[in-house]
Amino acid sequence: MRYLLLLPGYLLGRPASAQAVKPRVLKLHNGMLFEKLVTGFDAQHLLRAYRPNLKLLQVKPNRQDPAVKDSLLQVKTPADNLTLSKNRYKVLLRRATITSTKVSFARMRVGVTQETFCSTLHLKPNYTQYALTDGVENFVQLTFAFVASKLQSVEYKELIDMDTIE
């Protein structure tokens, strides 16, 4: 009798676990493809595009030149989240999660179909995530996530801590 009471719970729980499919990830180490995708996604362009949403997080002296100040800036919008490092010479993107259409990647934006994305970049459409690194160095990674064959989000992250590089 006890087993009969457990059977409906088992049968109902079984399909739910079968639907939780792990994302299929294609990892590529292709510097040329990476460069093609970050065209228009450079830090200077992002600084201009998100200027009204910038917040200063921290100011500290530059390690190589203490007379120069480095500023850590953050952008948080309902759709996007970015962290930038800026001094008087350079702006660097540290990490980003983009879910809006404000930024383009190789002239494609969030919402593009997976078919268009894959045909433009000559990739196989069998995956739900495409993780591309910057080539031989593997300093940074771009991850494109698809849901229902539409680009849902793009994540940019450092694979190594850039502050530890001399």
> Does residue 13 sit within a domain?
no
53 and 79, same domain (yes or no): yes
Q: Do 62 and 47 belong together in one domain?
A: yes
Question: What pTM does this model have?
Answer: 0.79
Whether residue 121 is found in the same domain as residue 149: yes
Residues 61 and 140 in one domain: no
Taking only the tens of pLDDT, the chain with its 166 residues reads 555 445 455 555 555 444 555 679 999 998 899 989 988 788 888 989 999 999 999 998 888 888 889 899 999 999 999 999 998 888 989 999 999 999 999 999 999 999 999 999 999 999 999 999 987 777 899 999 999 999 999 999 998 765 555 5
Write out the residue range of the structural domain in which residue 145 sits: 22-41+104-161
Q: Give CB contacts under 8 A, 24+ apart, made by 142-151.
A: 142/34, 142/37, 142/38, 142/105, 144/105, 144/117, 145/23, 146/114, 146/117, 149/113, 149/114, 149/115, 150/111, 150/112, 150/113, 150/114, 151/108, 151/109, 151/110, 151/111, 151/112, 151/113, 151/114, 151/117
Instruction: Indicate whether 155 and 119 sit together in one domain.
Output: yes
Total structural domains in the chain? 2
Q: Based on the domain organization, do 37 and 80 belong to the same domain?
A: no
Which domain-ending residue is among 96, 114, 130? 96
